[in-house]
């Protein structure tokens, strides 16, 4: 569960807040699309969830963790609950597909044996079987994003946050990535997707939350979006 209760984030006192008394409730296993023009506050909202930023006021609770009482030493535990995917993939260029995904498990202290059984399953799930030994530069944009998604879900987070994951992709690859996010959601992961792409939003027929100037101006179960 994700809960924001009247959350305000002000970076700079001379400017309007990036988020202004935003309240939002997302149930476990929901698929939610967050839309809004550039500067609306989408990234800020995601950064508050991952604790890269702290709110100026308001309450945030994610997966039973109340951020008011969250100690810095427990942030890794929180981040294990939230997988994140970005527009620019953020892969390690000198490592293969297998190694990029395995890296997330290595830093979590998993044994080699566990890594060898877990990573191939996730690579297969995202549709990259046979590409284990490829390096990022040998892959298409869509394939790179699949690697990033595999890395984000390999530790089985409860929530997957995808920040403009199709921003660098053509329409065909974009839709494939969105279908993959739907598949991951079907297996029980909450998905929070931000996008500018009205076509994707309208095709998905999912809950759509619209942010404008730091405020939620619309929240509809089968929402649509006009740019």
Contact residues: ligand ADP, CB under 6 A: 11-12, 18, 36, 38-44
DSSP secondary structure string, 199-217?
Answer: HHHHHH--EEEEEETTEEE
How crowded is the C-beta side of 220, counted as CA atoms within 13 Å? Answer: 12
Smallest distance, ligand ADP to C-beta of residue 41, A: 4
Helix (H) or strand (E) holding 24, with range, is strand 19-26
12 vs 72, beta carbon nearer ligand ADP: 12
Supply the minimum distance, in Å, between the C-beta of residue 105 and ligand ADP.
Answer: 30
Residue 2: which H helix or E strand, with range? strand 2-9
CB of 143 to ligand ADP, least distance (A): 26
For ligand ADP, the closer of residues 112 and 217 by Cβ is 217
* Three-state secondary structure call for residue 55: coil
d(CA 88, CA 141) in angstroms, rounded, equals: 9
Q: How far is the CB of 213 from ligand ADP (least distance, A)?
A: 9
Nearer to ligand ADP, 40 or 82 (CB): 40
Give residues with Cβ within 8 angstroms of 93, minimum separation 6: 135, 136, 137
Between 67 and 86, whose beta carbon lies closer to ligand ADP?
86
């Amino acid at each position: 569960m994700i809960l924001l209760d009247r959350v305000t984030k002000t970076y700079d006192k001379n400017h309007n807040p990036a988020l202004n008394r935003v309240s939002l409730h997302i149930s476990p296993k929901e698929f939610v699309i967050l839309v809004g023009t550039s500067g609306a506050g989408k990234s800020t909202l995601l950064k508050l969830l991952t604790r890269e930023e702290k709110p100026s006021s308001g309450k945030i609770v994610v997966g039973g963790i109340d951020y008011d009482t969250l100690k810095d030493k427990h942030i890794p535990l929180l981040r294990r609950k939230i997988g994140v995917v970005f527009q620019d993939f953020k892969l390690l260029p000198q490592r293969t597909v297998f190694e990029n995904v395995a890296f997330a498990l290595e830093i979590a202290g998993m044994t080699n044996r566990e890594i060898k059984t877990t990573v191939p399953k996730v690579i297969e799930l995202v549709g990259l079987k046979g590409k284990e030994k490829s390096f990022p530069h040998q892959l298409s944009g869509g394939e790179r994003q699949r690697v990033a998604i595999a890395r984000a879900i390999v530790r089985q987070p409860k929530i997957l946050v995808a920040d403009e994951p199709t921003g660098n992709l053509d329409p065909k690859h974009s839709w494939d990535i969105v279908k993959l996010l739907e598949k991951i959601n079907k297996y029980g992961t909450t998905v929070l997707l931000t996008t500018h792409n009205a076509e994707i939003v309208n095709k998905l027929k999912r809950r759509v939350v619209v942010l404008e100037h730091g405020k939620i101006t619309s929240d509809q179960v089968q929402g649509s979006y006009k740019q």
